Structure 1
Amino acid sequence: MELLYKGKTKDVYELDDQRVILKFKDDVTGVDGKFDPGANTVGLSIDGMGKSGLKVTRHFFEKLNHLNIPTHFLDADIEENTMTVLKASAFGKGVEVICRYRAVGSFIRRYGMYANEGDKLDSYVEFTLKDDERGDPLITKDALDMLHILNKEEYDEIERLTKEICGIIREELSQKGLELYDIKLEFGRVGEDRHIALIDEISGGNMRVYRGNEYIEPLDLEKMILSK
């Protein structure tokens, strides 16, 4: 298979005209050797992280597909750390969408004059550009439209899907005594009709989850999510 792209946490290989293979790696985002799902650089490598992330991603994508929520997911091979997905085109050079239920991380760094660590937020959705050089800047609906990255109708659809998807994940976690603080998603255009669909992954490396005041590490989170 032809290597199309080497990413921070996954490599992408071409399978055919319609499908690609995502190879999950043990690298995770962070700063100064500490894991941070909101960081835009690889901070460290955690043994088993790739397989763990793939297991959780498969779990949630299969659930979303069953609920007829559009995703690019087709299949996963846990032993090979690979996921087969439909090809997707990015919005611009990539847009990430964060849904926040608690004020932590970059939200507090930006708005700490008005919010306290851990304040509750009402499914707050924000869009950022995938741009390492500029620190993945926030961007508004109007700017996305004016820069022809995505139009206002697409923005509204992504925001709606984000709240629906994150609500499903949040509810499942709450049933296990866990609280979702925030989560990062990515969307793209998929298929001949170029419909909007959830792409990339849904894993412990993309979310902050707590049990009471205890932060749950991604590898521990996988075991909790997949436990019967």
Structure 2
Amino acid sequence: MARRKKVYEGKTKILYEGPEPGTLIQYFKDDAAVQTTSRPAPADGRGVLNNRLSEFFMNGLNAVGIPTHFMRRLNMREQLIRMAEIIPVVITVRNYAAGDLSTRLGIPEGAALPRPIVEFNFKDDKLGDPLVTEEHIIAFGWAAQQDLDDMVALALRVNDFLSGAMLAAGIRLADFRLEAGRIWEGDFMRLVVADEISPDSCRLWDLRQGDTDRDGNVREPGPLADVYTELARRLGVLPSNVTHTTKPTLIN
């Protein structure tokens, strides 16, 4: 088999040239997206599950008219995607206070927000993906105002879809991260959901935990245990030959 040309390698994925112009092959690695040491700790099967889960969500988004770069899954670790011009801004949608938002604003962890909040981070690993405003994005030319308006609208539509899908599986979507890209169709640009949607980019809380503790106190939803396998099992996409368990990756 001919050796494929690598286009890009990140912490969790490798992109190779696709079989046709304007396409790429996205390969899912087992490395974690967020790490606490100098190197990510591999977990056997994580990439397989992320590939299947991202396929599930991307197909669902496409089915309800939310455009993505996803075309089809090729095998257990690879999928065919359309080449997109990635906007260097990470979009975070928050439904509940958690992580960095609670720390910055002093809001109790787990508090429901009055409405979904959309935040932006400049996509740069060396800088730690710093929080930025719309003014920064426009001033530095990362996206135009119309792009930003479209990105917010796209992210909120994705939030509606994901929140419903997770709720049906007994899971609360506290927040998630999203990337958007531009795909050119002739002379016209189309904004699409890019990268992936998987547990690596979501904060998920289990609603199937007991309602009260041993003292009769109301129990708040907690992190979904063994998030990759449990989420895949509840959504019906768990491959029968994957038995590993791993801890959830949370948004800071």
1:154-205 deviation per Cα after TM superposition (whole angstroms, max 9, x unaligned): 1011001101111111011111221101111100101332211000111111
Tell me the distance in 2 between the aligned counterparts of 1:54 and 1:101.
25
**Which of 229, 233, 247 in structure 2 is aligned with 1:219?**
229
Inter-CA distance 47–103: structure 2 relative to 1 (3 Å threshold): same
Tell me the distance in 1 between the aligned counterparts of 2:34 and 2:55.
23
TM-score where L is the length of structure 2: 0.81
1:129 aligns with 2:110: no
Tell me the distance in 1 between the aligned counterparts of 2:100 and 2:82.
32
Report how far residue 42 of structure 1 moved. 5.8
Inter-CA distance 127–48: structure 2 relative to 1 (3 Å threshold): same
Long gaps (5+) in structure 1: 34-40
1:25-60 deviation per Cα after TM superposition (whole angstroms, max 9, x unaligned): 111123436xxxxxxx86422211111011111111
How many pairs align? 216
1:96 aligns with 2:96: no
Q: 1 or 2, which has the higher strand percentage?
A: 1
1:26 aligned residue: 30
TM-score where L is the length of structure 1: 0.89
Identity percentage of aligned residues: 28
2:99 aligned residue: 105
Contact 2:91–2:179 (8 Å) recurs in 1: yes
Long gaps (5+) in structure 2: 208-220, 239-252
Tell me the distance in 1 between the aligned counterparts of 2:41 and 2:103.
22
Contact 1:56–1:226 (8 Å) recurs in 2: no
Report how far residue 227 of structure 1 moved. 6.2
AA aligned to 1:59 is F
* CA RMSD between the two structures: 1.7
2:177 aligned residue: 184
1:37 aligned residue: none
Tell me the distance in 2 between the aligned counterparts of 1:7 and 1:169.
25
Tell me the distance in 2 between the aligned counterparts of 1:201 and 1:178.
19
1:36 aligned residue: none
SS in 2 for 1:195: strand
Tell me the distance in 1 between the aligned counterparts of 2:57 and 2:82.
16
Inter-CA distance 42–164: structure 2 relative to 1 (3 Å threshold): farther
Tell me the distance in 2 between the aligned counterparts of 1:154 and 1:172.
27
Inter-CA distance 146–28: structure 2 relative to 1 (3 Å threshold): same
SS in 1 for 2:229: helix
Tell me the distance in 2 between the aligned counterparts of 1:178 and 1:42.
30
Contact 1:56–1:202 (8 Å) recurs in 2: yes
Tell me the distance in 2 between the aligned counterparts of 1:137 and 1:44.
24
Contact 1:178–1:210 (8 Å) recurs in 2: yes
Tell me the distance in 1 between the aligned counterparts of 2:138 and 2:70.
28
2:10 aligned residue: 7
2:108 aligned residue: 116
Tell me the distance in 2 between the aligned counterparts of 1:99 and 1:219.
24
